[in-house]
Structure 1
Amino acid sequence: MLEHAPYRRYAGKAEIEKAINSLKGLIEGIAIDRLINAHELQFLHMWLDEHRRYSSKHPFNELFPVVESAITDGVLTNEEQADILWLCDQLLSERYFDSVTTDMQRLHAMIAGIASDGQISVEELRGLSKWLQKHEHLRRCWPYDEIDTLITSVLADKLIDPEEHALLMQFFGEFIAILDNRTVTMPPVAEGSTLTGLCAVCPDISFQGSVFCLTGASHRYSRKQLYSLIQELGGKTANGVSKKVQYLIVGAEGNPCWAFACYGRKVEQAVKLRKEGHTILIVHENDLHDAIADL
Protein backbone atom coordinates (compact mmCIF):
# COMPACT_ATOMS: atom_id res chain seq x y z
CA MET A 1 0.00 0.00 0.00
CA LEU A 2 2.85 2.44 0.77
CA GLU A 3 4.07 2.47 -2.82
CA HIS A 4 0.67 3.82 -3.88
CA ALA A 5 0.69 6.73 -1.40
CA PRO A 6 2.37 9.29 -3.74
CA TYR A 7 -0.06 8.38 -6.51
CA ARG A 8 -3.03 8.70 -4.14
CA ARG A 9 -1.94 12.24 -3.24
CA TYR A 10 -1.50 13.05 -6.92
CA ALA A 11 -4.86 11.59 -7.98
CA GLY A 12 -6.89 12.64 -4.95
CA LYS A 13 -9.43 14.70 -6.85
CA ALA A 14 -9.78 12.04 -9.53
CA GLU A 15 -10.37 9.38 -6.89
CA ILE A 16 -12.99 11.50 -5.18
CA GLU A 17 -14.78 12.12 -8.47
CA LYS A 18 -14.67 8.40 -9.26
CA ALA A 19 -16.07 7.50 -5.83
CA ILE A 20 -18.94 9.99 -6.10
CA ASN A 21 -19.72 9.01 -9.68
CA SER A 22 -19.75 5.35 -8.68
CA LEU A 23 -22.26 6.16 -5.94
CA LYS A 24 -24.44 8.04 -8.45
CA GLY A 25 -24.22 5.08 -10.84
CA LEU A 26 -25.19 2.62 -8.11
CA ILE A 27 -28.22 4.70 -7.13
CA GLU A 28 -29.34 5.12 -10.72
CA GLY A 29 -28.65 1.48 -11.57
CA ILE A 30 -30.49 -0.18 -8.72
CA ALA A 31 -33.46 2.16 -9.16
CA ILE A 32 -33.70 1.93 -12.94
CA ASP A 33 -36.57 -0.58 -12.80
CA ARG A 34 -38.21 1.38 -9.94
CA LEU A 35 -37.87 -1.70 -7.75
CA ILE A 36 -35.15 -1.95 -5.09
CA ASN A 37 -34.49 -5.11 -3.12
CA ALA A 38 -32.24 -5.99 -0.19
CA HIS A 39 -29.58 -7.49 -2.45
CA GLU A 40 -29.31 -4.24 -4.41
CA LEU A 41 -29.11 -2.18 -1.23
CA GLN A 42 -26.17 -4.33 -0.19
CA PHE A 43 -24.16 -2.68 -2.95
CA LEU A 44 -24.62 0.65 -1.19
CA HIS A 45 -23.35 -0.93 2.04
CA MET A 46 -20.35 -2.17 0.04
CA TRP A 47 -19.72 1.37 -1.26
CA LEU A 48 -19.77 2.66 2.32
CA ASP A 49 -17.40 -0.05 3.51
CA GLU A 50 -15.02 0.59 0.61
CA HIS A 51 -14.71 4.29 1.45
CA ARG A 52 -15.13 4.16 5.22
CA ARG A 53 -11.48 5.01 5.84
CA TYR A 54 -12.21 8.41 4.30
CA SER A 55 -15.50 8.95 6.16
CA SER A 56 -14.08 11.75 8.31
CA LYS A 57 -12.70 13.68 5.33
CA HIS A 58 -14.44 15.99 2.89
CA PRO A 59 -16.55 15.20 0.89
CA PHE A 60 -17.21 11.76 2.36
CA ASN A 61 -18.07 13.30 5.73
CA GLU A 62 -21.08 14.87 3.99
CA LEU A 63 -22.07 11.82 1.95
CA PHE A 64 -21.85 9.15 4.64
CA PRO A 65 -24.55 10.50 6.99
CA VAL A 66 -26.98 10.94 4.09
CA VAL A 67 -26.42 7.49 2.59
CA GLU A 68 -26.39 5.68 5.95
CA SER A 69 -29.57 7.43 7.07
CA ALA A 70 -31.29 6.55 3.79
CA ILE A 71 -30.62 2.81 3.93
CA THR A 72 -30.76 2.17 7.67
CA ASP A 73 -34.39 1.00 7.43
CA GLY A 74 -33.69 -1.28 4.46
CA VAL A 75 -35.73 0.93 2.11
CA LEU A 76 -34.53 3.54 -0.37
CA THR A 77 -37.39 5.88 -1.24
CA ASN A 78 -37.59 8.12 -4.30
CA GLU A 79 -36.96 11.15 -2.11
CA GLU A 80 -33.90 9.54 -0.51
CA GLN A 81 -32.55 8.70 -3.96
CA ALA A 82 -33.09 12.29 -5.09
CA ASP A 83 -31.39 13.66 -1.95
CA ILE A 84 -28.29 11.51 -2.50
CA LEU A 85 -28.07 12.34 -6.21
CA TRP A 86 -28.55 16.05 -5.48
CA LEU A 87 -25.73 16.03 -2.93
CA CYS A 88 -23.47 14.10 -5.32
CA ASP A 89 -24.05 16.73 -8.00
CA GLN A 90 -23.25 19.52 -5.53
CA LEU A 91 -20.05 17.82 -4.43
CA LEU A 92 -18.97 17.15 -8.02
CA SER A 93 -19.43 20.81 -8.89
CA GLU A 94 -16.10 22.60 -9.22
CA ARG A 95 -17.13 25.17 -6.62
CA TYR A 96 -17.16 22.42 -3.97
CA PHE A 97 -13.61 21.27 -4.62
CA ASP A 98 -10.19 22.14 -3.29
CA SER A 99 -9.63 25.81 -2.42
CA VAL A 100 -13.32 26.65 -2.41
CA THR A 101 -14.05 24.26 0.43
CA THR A 102 -11.06 25.53 2.40
CA ASP A 103 -11.94 29.19 1.82
CA MET A 104 -15.58 28.61 2.73
CA GLN A 105 -14.58 27.00 6.01
CA ARG A 106 -12.30 30.01 6.65
CA LEU A 107 -15.17 32.39 5.91
CA HIS A 108 -17.46 30.60 8.36
CA ALA A 109 -14.79 30.81 11.07
CA MET A 110 -14.04 34.49 10.27
CA ILE A 111 -17.70 35.41 10.73
CA ALA A 112 -17.73 33.54 14.04
CA GLY A 113 -14.55 35.29 15.14
CA ILE A 114 -15.92 38.75 14.35
CA ALA A 115 -19.06 38.06 16.38
CA SER A 116 -17.35 36.24 19.24
CA ASP A 117 -17.01 39.35 21.46
CA GLY A 118 -20.59 40.49 20.85
CA GLN A 119 -19.47 43.66 19.06
CA ILE A 120 -19.16 44.27 15.31
CA SER A 121 -17.38 47.41 14.13
CA VAL A 122 -17.19 49.30 10.85
CA GLU A 123 -13.50 48.38 10.63
CA GLU A 124 -14.32 44.69 10.95
CA LEU A 125 -16.94 44.92 8.21
CA ARG A 126 -14.53 46.77 5.92
CA GLY A 127 -11.87 44.13 6.52
CA LEU A 128 -14.35 41.36 5.79
CA SER A 129 -15.52 43.17 2.66
CA LYS A 130 -11.94 43.35 1.36
CA TRP A 131 -11.54 39.61 2.01
CA LEU A 132 -14.74 38.90 0.07
CA GLN A 133 -13.49 40.97 -2.87
CA LYS A 134 -10.32 38.86 -2.99
CA HIS A 135 -12.34 35.62 -2.90
CA GLU A 136 -15.04 36.24 -5.50
CA HIS A 137 -14.73 32.61 -6.63
CA LEU A 138 -16.99 31.91 -3.64
CA ARG A 139 -19.82 33.94 -5.16
CA ARG A 140 -23.10 31.98 -5.34
CA CYS A 141 -21.86 29.71 -2.53
CA TRP A 142 -23.89 30.33 0.64
CA PRO A 143 -23.31 32.53 2.63
CA TYR A 144 -21.01 34.70 0.45
CA ASP A 145 -23.81 36.54 -1.35
CA GLU A 146 -25.82 37.04 1.85
CA ILE A 147 -22.82 38.50 3.70
CA ASP A 148 -21.92 40.73 0.75
CA THR A 149 -25.51 42.02 0.57
CA LEU A 150 -25.62 42.71 4.31
CA ILE A 151 -22.25 44.49 4.45
CA THR A 152 -23.07 46.68 1.44
CA SER A 153 -26.38 47.69 3.02
CA VAL A 154 -24.96 48.44 6.46
CA LEU A 155 -21.92 50.37 5.23
CA ALA A 156 -23.93 52.56 2.85
CA ASP A 157 -23.91 55.39 5.44
CA LYS A 158 -20.55 54.34 6.95
CA LEU A 159 -22.24 53.79 10.31
CA ILE A 160 -23.71 50.84 12.21
CA ASP A 161 -26.87 51.86 14.05
CA PRO A 162 -28.35 49.70 16.86
CA GLU A 163 -30.89 48.05 14.56
CA GLU A 164 -28.21 47.17 12.01
CA HIS A 165 -25.93 45.85 14.76
CA ALA A 166 -28.71 43.59 16.02
CA LEU A 167 -29.22 42.26 12.50
CA LEU A 168 -25.50 41.67 12.07
CA MET A 169 -25.29 39.81 15.37
CA GLN A 170 -28.32 37.73 14.48
CA PHE A 171 -26.61 36.68 11.25
CA PHE A 172 -23.00 36.42 12.41
CA GLY A 173 -23.96 34.87 15.74
CA GLU A 174 -25.24 31.77 13.99
CA PHE A 175 -21.67 30.93 13.01
CA ILE A 176 -20.34 30.87 16.55
CA ALA A 177 -21.73 27.33 16.53
CA ILE A 178 -18.91 26.46 14.13
CA LEU A 179 -16.37 27.16 16.88
CA ASP A 180 -18.26 24.77 19.15
CA ASN A 181 -18.21 22.01 16.50
CA ARG A 182 -21.92 22.39 15.88
CA THR A 183 -23.76 23.05 12.64
CA VAL A 184 -25.58 26.19 11.57
CA THR A 185 -29.22 25.07 11.43
CA MET A 186 -31.03 28.39 10.98
CA PRO A 187 -29.05 30.15 8.23
CA PRO A 188 -30.21 33.43 6.70
CA VAL A 189 -30.58 33.62 2.91
CA ALA A 190 -30.95 36.41 0.37
CA GLU A 191 -34.26 36.66 -1.46
CA GLY A 192 -33.87 39.19 -4.24
CA SER A 193 -32.20 42.16 -2.55
CA THR A 194 -33.58 41.32 0.88
CA LEU A 195 -31.78 39.40 3.59
CA THR A 196 -34.13 37.16 5.50
CA GLY A 197 -33.96 34.25 7.90
CA LEU A 198 -34.23 30.87 6.28
CA CYS A 199 -36.58 29.72 9.02
CA ALA A 200 -39.70 31.68 9.96
CA VAL A 201 -39.52 33.62 13.24
CA CYS A 202 -42.20 32.60 15.77
CA PRO A 203 -44.27 30.90 13.06
CA ASP A 204 -48.00 30.38 13.46
CA ILE A 205 -48.41 26.63 12.89
CA SER A 206 -51.81 25.12 12.20
CA PHE A 207 -51.93 21.33 12.11
CA GLN A 208 -55.46 20.51 11.01
CA GLY A 209 -55.41 19.74 7.28
CA SER A 210 -51.95 21.25 6.73
CA VAL A 211 -49.23 19.36 4.84
CA PHE A 212 -45.82 18.96 6.49
CA CYS A 213 -42.50 17.78 5.08
CA LEU A 214 -39.29 17.13 7.05
CA THR A 215 -35.71 17.66 5.98
CA GLY A 216 -32.64 16.75 7.99
CA ALA A 217 -32.59 14.78 11.22
CA SER A 218 -34.59 15.48 14.36
CA HIS A 219 -32.83 15.55 17.73
CA ARG A 220 -35.93 14.10 19.45
CA TYR A 221 -37.73 11.73 17.09
CA SER A 222 -37.20 9.49 14.11
CA ARG A 223 -38.83 10.78 10.94
CA LYS A 224 -41.53 8.11 11.24
CA GLN A 225 -42.30 9.13 14.85
CA LEU A 226 -42.46 12.81 13.97
CA TYR A 227 -44.77 12.19 11.02
CA SER A 228 -47.03 10.04 13.21
CA LEU A 229 -47.22 12.81 15.79
CA ILE A 230 -48.18 15.38 13.13
CA GLN A 231 -50.86 13.05 11.76
CA GLU A 232 -52.30 12.53 15.26
CA LEU A 233 -52.73 16.31 15.48
CA GLY A 234 -54.70 16.40 12.22
CA GLY A 235 -51.85 17.25 9.87
CA LYS A 236 -50.82 15.49 6.69
CA THR A 237 -47.29 14.53 5.69
CA ALA A 238 -45.36 14.44 2.42
CA ASN A 239 -42.00 12.96 1.54
CA GLY A 240 -41.16 15.73 -0.91
CA VAL A 241 -41.58 19.48 -1.29
CA SER A 242 -44.30 20.68 -3.64
CA LYS A 243 -46.85 23.49 -3.94
CA LYS A 244 -49.16 21.40 -1.72
CA VAL A 245 -46.79 21.62 1.28
CA GLN A 246 -47.48 24.36 3.83
CA TYR A 247 -44.61 23.65 6.24
CA LEU A 248 -41.08 22.38 5.69
CA ILE A 249 -39.59 21.38 9.04
CA VAL A 250 -35.79 21.70 9.30
CA GLY A 251 -34.36 19.11 11.68
CA ALA A 252 -32.18 20.45 14.49
CA GLU A 253 -29.65 17.62 14.44
CA GLY A 254 -26.91 19.13 12.28
CA ASN A 255 -23.71 17.51 11.08
CA PRO A 256 -20.60 19.34 12.38
CA CYS A 257 -18.50 17.82 9.58
CA TRP A 258 -20.33 19.73 6.85
CA ALA A 259 -18.25 22.39 5.14
CA PHE A 260 -21.16 24.47 3.88
CA ALA A 261 -23.99 22.11 2.95
CA CYS A 262 -26.04 23.65 5.74
CA TYR A 263 -29.23 22.86 3.97
CA GLY A 264 -30.15 20.50 1.18
CA ARG A 265 -32.37 19.80 -1.77
CA LYS A 266 -35.73 20.19 -0.01
CA VAL A 267 -34.85 23.60 1.41
CA GLU A 268 -33.54 24.66 -1.98
CA GLN A 269 -36.89 23.67 -3.50
CA ALA A 270 -38.86 25.45 -0.76
CA VAL A 271 -36.87 28.68 -1.15
CA LYS A 272 -37.48 28.55 -4.90
CA LEU A 273 -41.23 28.08 -4.38
CA ARG A 274 -41.28 30.88 -1.82
CA LYS A 275 -39.57 33.24 -4.26
CA GLU A 276 -42.20 32.30 -6.86
CA GLY A 277 -44.92 33.47 -4.48
CA HIS A 278 -46.14 30.16 -3.09
CA THR A 279 -47.04 30.06 0.58
CA ILE A 280 -44.65 27.66 2.28
CA LEU A 281 -43.15 28.25 5.70
CA ILE A 282 -39.70 26.91 6.51
CA VAL A 283 -39.85 26.10 10.21
CA HIS A 284 -37.08 25.11 12.61
CA GLU A 285 -37.83 21.87 14.48
CA ASN A 286 -37.72 23.61 17.86
CA ASP A 287 -40.61 25.88 16.80
CA LEU A 288 -42.61 22.81 15.83
CA HIS A 289 -42.08 21.33 19.30
CA ASP A 290 -43.15 24.65 20.86
CA ALA A 291 -46.34 24.67 18.75
CA ILE A 292 -47.15 21.13 19.84
CA ALA A 293 -46.55 22.00 23.51
CA ASP A 294 -48.90 24.98 23.24
CA LEU A 295 -51.86 22.85 22.08
Structure 2
Amino acid sequence: MEKVSYFCLDRNRKKAAISLKGILQGVVADQELNEVEILFLDVWLKSQEHLRDDSDAIDLLDAVGDILADGVVTEDEIDDLKTLLEDIVKFKEVPLDKNIDRVNEFLALVSGVVADDILNTEELSALIDWLSRNDDLFSTFPINLVVKKMEQLEQSVSQETMSEELLQYLKKVSGANFCETGSVEVHPLAFIEDEIDSINHLNSSIVVSGEFDMGSRDDVKDIAIGRGYRLLGSVSKKTDYLVFGSKVSPNWGANNFGGKIEKAVKLKLEGYPIKIISESQWISFL
Protein backbone atom coordinates (compact mmCIF):
# COMPACT_ATOMS: atom_id res chain seq x y z
CA MET A 1 0.00 0.00 0.00
CA GLU A 2 2.86 2.38 0.82
CA LYS A 3 4.41 1.85 -2.62
CA VAL A 4 1.05 2.57 -4.24
CA SER A 5 0.69 5.79 -2.22
CA TYR A 6 4.15 7.00 -3.24
CA PHE A 7 3.42 6.12 -6.87
CA CYS A 8 0.17 8.10 -6.82
CA LEU A 9 1.91 11.03 -5.13
CA ASP A 10 4.69 11.09 -7.73
CA ARG A 11 2.15 10.82 -10.54
CA ASN A 12 0.10 13.71 -9.13
CA ARG A 13 3.23 15.83 -8.72
CA LYS A 14 4.14 15.16 -12.32
CA LYS A 15 0.65 16.10 -13.51
CA ALA A 16 0.85 19.31 -11.50
CA ALA A 17 4.28 20.15 -12.94
CA ILE A 18 3.01 19.52 -16.46
CA SER A 19 0.04 21.78 -15.75
CA LEU A 20 2.29 24.50 -14.35
CA LYS A 21 4.52 24.59 -17.40
CA GLY A 22 1.58 24.34 -19.79
CA ILE A 23 -0.34 27.15 -18.11
CA LEU A 24 2.71 29.41 -18.14
CA GLN A 25 3.20 28.72 -21.85
CA GLY A 26 -0.37 29.83 -22.42
CA VAL A 27 -0.14 32.92 -20.25
CA VAL A 28 2.98 34.26 -22.02
CA ALA A 29 2.01 33.04 -25.50
CA ASP A 30 1.34 36.60 -26.67
CA GLN A 31 4.46 38.01 -24.98
CA GLU A 32 2.18 40.10 -22.77
CA LEU A 33 1.00 39.84 -19.18
CA ASN A 34 -2.00 41.57 -17.61
CA GLU A 35 -3.51 41.86 -14.14
CA VAL A 36 -6.19 39.25 -14.78
CA GLU A 37 -3.54 36.69 -15.69
CA ILE A 38 -1.54 37.59 -12.58
CA LEU A 39 -4.62 37.10 -10.39
CA PHE A 40 -5.30 33.80 -12.14
CA LEU A 41 -1.77 32.59 -11.41
CA ASP A 42 -2.10 33.60 -7.77
CA VAL A 43 -5.36 31.68 -7.27
CA TRP A 44 -4.20 28.67 -9.30
CA LEU A 45 -0.85 28.32 -7.54
CA LYS A 46 -2.49 28.52 -4.11
CA SER A 47 -4.82 25.67 -5.09
CA GLN A 48 -2.02 23.27 -6.10
CA GLU A 49 -1.16 21.09 -3.12
CA HIS A 50 1.11 18.91 -5.24
CA LEU A 51 3.32 21.89 -6.11
CA ARG A 52 4.03 22.96 -2.54
CA ASP A 53 7.56 21.55 -2.74
CA ASP A 54 8.19 22.65 -6.33
CA SER A 55 10.88 25.35 -6.30
CA ASP A 56 9.58 27.07 -9.43
CA ALA A 57 6.05 27.21 -8.06
CA ILE A 58 7.33 28.56 -4.73
CA ASP A 59 9.36 31.29 -6.45
CA LEU A 60 6.47 32.18 -8.70
CA LEU A 61 3.94 32.36 -5.87
CA ASP A 62 6.28 34.60 -3.88
CA ALA A 63 6.76 36.90 -6.87
CA VAL A 64 3.03 37.12 -7.58
CA GLY A 65 2.29 37.71 -3.91
CA ASP A 66 4.77 40.58 -3.74
CA ILE A 67 3.21 42.20 -6.80
CA LEU A 68 -0.33 41.97 -5.45
CA ALA A 69 0.53 42.93 -1.87
CA ASP A 70 0.19 46.71 -2.27
CA GLY A 71 -2.71 46.62 -4.72
CA VAL A 72 -0.71 48.40 -7.40
CA VAL A 73 0.79 46.54 -10.36
CA THR A 74 3.58 48.47 -12.09
CA GLU A 75 5.04 47.95 -15.55
CA ASP A 76 8.41 47.02 -14.05
CA GLU A 77 6.76 44.35 -11.89
CA ILE A 78 4.95 42.94 -14.92
CA ASP A 79 8.18 42.84 -16.94
CA ASP A 80 10.08 41.09 -14.13
CA LEU A 81 7.30 38.54 -13.67
CA LYS A 82 7.06 37.89 -17.40
CA THR A 83 10.79 37.19 -17.47
CA LEU A 84 10.40 34.72 -14.60
CA LEU A 85 7.54 32.94 -16.40
CA GLU A 86 9.53 32.71 -19.61
CA ASP A 87 12.55 31.33 -17.75
CA ILE A 88 10.44 28.62 -16.10
CA VAL A 89 8.94 27.66 -19.45
CA LYS A 90 12.40 27.53 -21.03
CA PHE A 91 14.33 25.70 -18.32
CA LYS A 92 11.81 23.59 -16.36
CA GLU A 93 12.22 19.97 -17.37
CA VAL A 94 9.10 17.83 -17.14
CA PRO A 95 9.20 14.53 -19.06
CA LEU A 96 6.23 13.88 -21.33
CA ASP A 97 6.55 10.10 -21.47
CA LYS A 98 3.00 9.24 -22.46
CA ASN A 99 0.38 10.65 -24.77
CA ILE A 100 -1.76 11.61 -21.78
CA ASP A 101 1.10 13.78 -20.52
CA ARG A 102 0.98 15.76 -23.76
CA VAL A 103 -2.81 15.93 -23.62
CA ASN A 104 -2.56 17.38 -20.13
CA GLU A 105 0.06 19.86 -21.32
CA PHE A 106 -2.27 20.97 -24.11
CA LEU A 107 -5.22 21.41 -21.74
CA ALA A 108 -3.01 23.44 -19.42
CA LEU A 109 -1.79 25.53 -22.35
CA VAL A 110 -5.40 26.22 -23.26
CA SER A 111 -6.22 27.15 -19.66
CA GLY A 112 -3.38 29.67 -19.66
CA VAL A 113 -4.40 31.13 -23.01
CA VAL A 114 -8.06 31.66 -22.03
CA ALA A 115 -7.38 32.78 -18.44
CA ASP A 116 -8.03 36.45 -19.27
CA ASP A 117 -10.99 35.67 -21.56
CA ILE A 118 -9.06 36.85 -24.61
CA LEU A 119 -7.81 34.89 -27.61
CA ASN A 120 -5.58 37.02 -29.81
CA THR A 121 -3.57 36.25 -32.94
CA GLU A 122 -0.36 35.41 -31.07
CA GLU A 123 -2.15 33.02 -28.72
CA LEU A 124 -3.94 31.32 -31.60
CA SER A 125 -0.58 30.91 -33.33
CA ALA A 126 0.84 29.31 -30.18
CA LEU A 127 -2.01 26.80 -30.12
CA ILE A 128 -1.57 26.00 -33.81
CA ASP A 129 2.18 25.62 -33.31
CA TRP A 130 1.66 23.16 -30.45
CA LEU A 131 -0.81 21.16 -32.52
CA SER A 132 1.57 21.11 -35.49
CA ARG A 133 4.34 19.69 -33.30
CA ASN A 134 1.99 17.05 -31.89
CA ASP A 135 0.00 16.08 -34.97
CA ASP A 136 0.25 12.41 -33.99
CA LEU A 137 -2.38 13.23 -31.34
CA PHE A 138 -4.98 14.47 -33.83
CA SER A 139 -7.05 11.34 -33.29
CA THR A 140 -6.74 11.52 -29.49
CA PHE A 141 -9.56 12.88 -27.35
CA PRO A 142 -10.14 15.76 -26.78
CA ILE A 143 -7.51 17.12 -29.16
CA ASN A 144 -9.38 15.54 -32.07
CA LEU A 145 -12.44 17.64 -31.20
CA VAL A 146 -10.42 20.85 -30.95
CA VAL A 147 -8.80 20.23 -34.34
CA LYS A 148 -12.18 19.48 -35.89
CA LYS A 149 -13.69 22.64 -34.39
CA MET A 150 -10.82 24.79 -35.67
CA GLU A 151 -11.17 23.34 -39.17
CA GLN A 152 -14.92 23.97 -39.17
CA LEU A 153 -14.54 27.57 -38.02
CA GLU A 154 -11.73 28.30 -40.46
CA GLN A 155 -13.93 27.24 -43.37
CA SER A 156 -17.14 28.94 -42.30
CA VAL A 157 -16.53 32.21 -40.44
CA SER A 158 -14.38 35.35 -40.45
CA GLN A 159 -11.14 35.55 -38.46
CA GLU A 160 -12.76 37.77 -35.83
CA THR A 161 -15.75 35.47 -35.41
CA MET A 162 -13.47 32.44 -35.37
CA SER A 163 -11.44 33.86 -32.48
CA GLU A 164 -14.52 34.54 -30.38
CA GLU A 165 -16.22 31.20 -31.07
CA LEU A 166 -12.99 29.29 -30.59
CA LEU A 167 -12.36 31.12 -27.30
CA GLN A 168 -15.73 29.98 -25.95
CA TYR A 169 -15.11 26.43 -27.16
CA LEU A 170 -11.64 26.27 -25.63
CA LYS A 171 -13.03 27.49 -22.30
CA LYS A 172 -15.46 24.59 -22.36
CA VAL A 173 -12.78 22.08 -23.38
CA SER A 174 -10.45 23.14 -20.57
CA GLY A 175 -13.31 23.59 -18.12
CA ALA A 176 -11.88 26.99 -17.22
CA ASN A 177 -14.07 29.98 -16.41
CA PHE A 178 -11.89 32.23 -14.26
CA CYS A 179 -13.15 35.62 -15.43
CA GLU A 180 -16.78 34.72 -14.72
CA THR A 181 -16.28 32.88 -11.43
CA GLY A 182 -12.95 33.99 -9.99
CA SER A 183 -12.31 30.30 -9.38
CA VAL A 184 -9.75 27.98 -10.94
CA GLU A 185 -11.93 24.95 -10.30
CA VAL A 186 -12.46 23.31 -13.65
CA HIS A 187 -15.64 21.81 -15.03
CA PRO A 188 -14.57 19.71 -18.01
CA LEU A 189 -16.87 17.62 -20.19
CA ALA A 190 -19.60 20.26 -20.40
CA PHE A 191 -18.63 20.71 -24.06
CA ILE A 192 -19.51 17.11 -24.95
CA GLU A 193 -22.64 16.76 -22.83
CA ASP A 194 -25.83 16.27 -24.82
CA GLU A 195 -28.76 18.53 -24.05
CA ILE A 196 -31.84 16.33 -24.11
CA ASP A 197 -35.57 16.96 -23.70
CA SER A 198 -36.52 13.52 -22.41
CA ILE A 199 -35.11 10.14 -21.43
CA ASN A 200 -36.54 6.71 -22.07
CA HIS A 201 -35.66 4.78 -18.91
CA LEU A 202 -37.31 1.42 -19.57
CA ASN A 203 -35.01 -1.12 -21.25
CA SER A 204 -32.44 1.52 -22.22
CA SER A 205 -28.80 0.49 -21.80
CA ILE A 206 -26.70 2.66 -19.51
CA VAL A 207 -23.07 2.99 -18.43
CA VAL A 208 -22.30 4.96 -15.28
CA SER A 209 -18.85 6.31 -14.62
CA GLY A 210 -16.94 8.61 -12.32
CA GLU A 211 -17.76 9.72 -8.79
CA PHE A 212 -21.29 10.86 -8.03
CA ASP A 213 -22.65 13.44 -5.60
CA MET A 214 -25.83 11.40 -5.16
CA GLY A 215 -23.98 8.42 -3.68
CA SER A 216 -21.62 5.60 -4.55
CA ARG A 217 -21.53 4.09 -8.01
CA ASP A 218 -23.38 1.06 -6.66
CA ASP A 219 -26.10 3.39 -5.36
CA VAL A 220 -26.42 4.93 -8.81
CA LYS A 221 -26.60 1.50 -10.42
CA ASP A 222 -29.38 0.48 -8.03
CA ILE A 223 -31.34 3.59 -8.97
CA ALA A 224 -30.84 2.84 -12.66
CA ILE A 225 -32.03 -0.74 -12.24
CA GLY A 226 -35.06 0.53 -10.34
CA ARG A 227 -35.95 2.75 -13.30
CA GLY A 228 -35.74 -0.18 -15.71
CA TYR A 229 -32.30 0.36 -17.26
CA ARG A 230 -30.03 -2.40 -18.50
CA LEU A 231 -26.59 -1.91 -16.95
CA LEU A 232 -23.48 -2.25 -19.11
CA GLY A 233 -19.96 -2.44 -17.74
CA SER A 234 -18.35 -0.67 -20.68
CA VAL A 235 -19.29 1.61 -23.55
CA SER A 236 -20.22 -0.09 -26.82
CA LYS A 237 -22.32 0.44 -29.92
CA LYS A 238 -25.27 -0.88 -27.89
CA THR A 239 -25.00 1.84 -25.23
CA ASP A 240 -27.89 4.31 -25.10
CA TYR A 241 -26.64 6.54 -22.27
CA LEU A 242 -23.33 7.28 -20.59
CA VAL A 243 -23.89 9.14 -17.32
CA PHE A 244 -20.84 10.73 -15.72
CA GLY A 245 -20.59 11.79 -12.09
CA SER A 246 -20.22 15.40 -10.99
CA LYS A 247 -16.91 14.74 -9.23
CA VAL A 248 -14.99 14.49 -12.46
CA SER A 249 -11.22 14.75 -12.78
CA PRO A 250 -9.96 17.19 -15.41
CA ASN A 251 -7.28 14.63 -16.38
CA TRP A 252 -9.93 12.37 -17.86
CA GLY A 253 -7.66 10.46 -20.22
CA ALA A 254 -5.52 9.15 -17.35
CA ASN A 255 -8.00 6.65 -15.99
CA ASN A 256 -10.82 4.31 -16.94
CA PHE A 257 -13.40 7.06 -16.59
CA GLY A 258 -11.60 8.98 -19.30
CA GLY A 259 -11.45 5.90 -21.49
CA LYS A 260 -15.22 5.51 -21.37
CA ILE A 261 -15.73 9.15 -22.27
CA GLU A 262 -13.27 8.90 -25.13
CA LYS A 263 -14.92 5.78 -26.52
CA ALA A 264 -18.39 7.31 -26.25
CA VAL A 265 -17.27 10.41 -28.13
CA LYS A 266 -15.66 8.27 -30.82
CA LEU A 267 -18.88 6.31 -31.29
CA LYS A 268 -20.88 9.53 -31.51
CA LEU A 269 -18.55 10.81 -34.22
CA GLU A 270 -19.10 7.55 -36.10
CA GLY A 271 -22.85 8.18 -36.03
CA TYR A 272 -24.02 5.98 -33.17
CA PRO A 273 -26.86 7.57 -31.13
CA ILE A 274 -25.25 7.28 -27.69
CA LYS A 275 -26.10 10.16 -25.33
CA ILE A 276 -23.49 11.54 -22.93
CA ILE A 277 -25.15 13.26 -19.99
CA SER A 278 -24.15 14.58 -16.59
CA GLU A 279 -25.33 13.34 -13.24
CA SER A 280 -27.38 16.51 -12.68
CA GLN A 281 -29.14 16.26 -16.03
CA TRP A 282 -29.91 12.58 -15.52
CA ILE A 283 -31.28 13.24 -12.04
CA SER A 284 -33.66 15.86 -13.43
CA PHE A 285 -35.44 13.12 -15.40
CA LEU A 286 -35.70 10.54 -12.62
What is the TM-score with the length of structure 2 in the denominator?
0.56
Q: What SS does the aligned partner of 1:221 have?
A: coil
Contact 1:214 1:250 in 2 (8 A): yes
* CA-CA distance at 1:53 after TM superposition: 1.4
The match for 1:250 is 244
Contact 2:244 2:278 in 1 (8 A): yes
Where does structure 1 lack aligned partners over 5 or more consecutive residues? 1-47, 63-95, 188-196
Distance in 2, Cα, partners of 1:161 & 1:218:
37
Contact 1:115 1:176 in 2 (8 A): no
**1:250-289 maps to which residues of 2 (within 5 A)?**
250-255=244-249, 258=251, 260-261=253-254, 263-289=257-283
Contact 1:113 1:176 in 2 (8 A): no
The match for 1:219 is 213
The match for 1:58 is 11
* CA-CA distance at 1:200 after TM superposition: 0.9
Contact 1:217 1:223 in 2 (8 A): yes
Distance in 1, Cα, partners of 2:134 & 2:125:
14
Q: 2:225 aligns with which of 224, 227, 231?
A: 231
**1:134-213 maps to which residues of 2 (within 5 A)?**
134-156=133-155, 159-161=159-161, 165-166=164-165, 168-177=167-176, 182=185, 185-186=188-189, 197-202=191-196, 204-213=198-207
- Give the counterpart letter for 2:205 in structure 1: V
* CA-CA distance at 1:186 after TM superposition: 0.7
- Give the counterpart letter for 2:223 in structure 1: L
RMSD: 3.5
Q: What SS does the aligned partner of 1:264 have?
A: helix
- Give the counterpart letter for 1:128 in structure 2: L
- Give the counterpart letter for 1:261 in structure 2: A
Q: Identity over aligned residues, as a percent?
A: 21
- 1:66-91: CA deviation from partner (whole Å, max 9, x where unpaired): xxxxxxxxxxxxxxxxxxxxxxxxxx
Where does structure 2 lack aligned partners over 5 or more consecutive residues? 16-94
- Give the counterpart letter for 1:133 in structure 2: S
**1:63-82 maps to which residues of 2 (within 5 A)?**
none
- 1:122-178: CA deviation from partner (whole Å, max 9, x where unpaired): 44323321232234354433333332333333344651328x724541333441549
Distance in 2, Cα, partners of 1:104 & 1:269:
16
What is the TM-score with the length of structure 1 in the denominator?
0.55
* CA-CA distance at 1:237 after TM superposition: 2.4
* CA-CA distance at 1:253 after TM superposition: 1.4
- 1:21-54: CA deviation from partner (whole Å, max 9, x where unpaired): xxxxxxxxxxxxxxxxxxxxxxxxxxx4433212
Count of paired positions: 201
Q: What SS does the aligned partner of 2:159 have?
A: coil
The match for 1:127 is 126
The match for 1:118 is 117
